[in-house]
Structure 1
């Protein structure tokens, strides 16, 4: 039986275990998740597993269909295009809001320092899980500065999908031949946002996201 942490419900435990196994690739995209198997895997009863699968569906990692039950989300071209469109919308709005606002100088300094660390991590370790988490923390901080909880929440859910997609992707190679090396830089992105021009900030975000080679071409322009 899996061991719960203090104050962790059985549903939370099941959610954590299933989520990790999806992101680590043990549970494959489109793989069916039967209640009995998930109960055995997580060490909790059926009812908490049902709650966990509902939460995973809300987080965008699981999909449910009538009479077919639950399965890990499929990594189809349509799904990826849809999720990247969402990411563009979220981060473009974040950039526009921050460019239109008045960030304090000490906040700008802290963001630049964080961006330098992320850029160094990408150059050193590329898209390892820890690098993706660090990258997310940076973008989540930008979203938090908008003081819009819906943007923060949407970005978090989209990040989980990107972890799954990047875990399966073949385009992150050790040659570091990014097609837009300037735009991969988080320091550069911040400087564009700090320009105070919302349109310039949004265009920078589009370039930054497009620097990930998995971005569908229809969304780049």
Structure 2
């Protein structure tokens, strides 16, 4: 774990505990802190240039979000990405995103449609440059605009409660350039259905999109587990 985290910048308007929390969460989501890795308060505090208190508070909050597990007498560890975890998240996500696309087809504004189309262009440009960070960022923006277009605050809240788990799997989805192109085409079809106000088609395409993402992620996780099992033999 040594040397993975940068020193915290204190010229930020947010409370220190929130800055530390966001830094640790980002490190987990991007894979800098890997599943099964132990989180040692003293070492993390030294790397980030802060006291142990905000680190301890951040770890507790990460535990509540399911990104960290506390093992009695052993300490805090980055939670693993099990096949069961992935299946559970995608099962919920498929239903929620299908509903979101259907509602967006009924309620989206012209400005929001333009935003979705612009983001698709930005994703395409980033993909051509193999700029994975931008692709992931823009994909997240795409879905947030889509959720906002539902005009259903409770639905948005429920989806955002899964955001950290979804973001971890989003990173897995963009490890293959061919898959990025497929994702882009799937997004385009969803936007076309929403633009045509075709509620049923938008719902169907969104659900199929999430199912393909799930299949891709599950295959990646299985390969990782097989590789880790070989190393342990």
Given that 1:184 and 1:211 are in contact with CA atoms closer than 8 Å, whether structure 2 keeps it comes out as: no
Could you say which residue in structure 2 is the equivalent of 1:61? 67
Given that 1:209 and 1:215 are in contact with CA atoms closer than 8 Å, whether structure 2 keeps it comes out as: no
**What TM-score, normalized by structure 2, do the two folds share?**
0.74
Could you say which residue in structure 2 is the equivalent of 1:144? 148
Which of 32, 41, 65 in structure 2 is aligned with 1:35? 41
Deviation by residue 1:73-128 (Cα, 9 ceiling, x = unmatched): 201111111222232132112112112x2333343333323333334434x14671
Q: 1: CA distance between counterparts of 2:153 and 2:107?
A: 19
Q: 1: CA distance between counterparts of 2:157 and 2:11?
A: 24
Q: 1: CA distance between counterparts of 2:95 and 2:103?
A: 12
Could you say which residue in structure 1 is the equivalent of 2:101? 95
Could you say which residue in structure 1 is the equivalent of 2:231? none
Q: 1: CA distance between counterparts of 2:183 and 2:167?
A: 23
Deviation by residue 1:133-173 (Cα, 9 ceiling, x = unmatched): 11010110111122334433444454433443454x49833
Deviation by residue 1:46-72 (Cα, 9 ceiling, x = unmatched): 322222113323444223344443221
Could you say which residue in structure 1 is the equivalent of 2:126? 121
Which of 71, 81, 88 in structure 1 is aligned with 2:77? 71
Could you say which residue in structure 2 is the equivalent of 1:51? 57
Q: Provide the aligned length of Structure 1 versus Structure 2.
A: 212
Which SS does the other structure have where 1:8 is aligned?
Answer: coil
The change in CA–CA distance for 1:183 and 1:17 in structure 2 (over 3 A counts) is closer
Gapped runs of 5+ residues in structure 1?
Answer: none
Deviates more, 1:200-209 or 1:64-73: 64-73
The change in CA–CA distance for 1:63 and 1:193 in structure 2 (over 3 A counts) is farther
Could you say which residue in structure 1 is the equivalent of 2:176? 173
Q: 2: CA distance between counterparts of 1:41 and 1:34?
A: 11
Which SS does the other structure have where 1:172 is aligned?
Answer: coil
Could you say which residue in structure 1 is the equivalent of 2:195? 194
Give the alignment's Cα RMSD to 1 decimal.
Answer: 3.1
Greater fraction of residues in helix: 2
The change in CA–CA distance for 1:83 and 1:15 in structure 2 (over 3 A counts) is same
Q: 1: CA distance between counterparts of 2:47 and 2:158?
A: 29
Which SS does the other structure have where 1:214 is aligned?
Answer: helix
**What TM-score, normalized by structure 1, do the two folds share?**
0.77
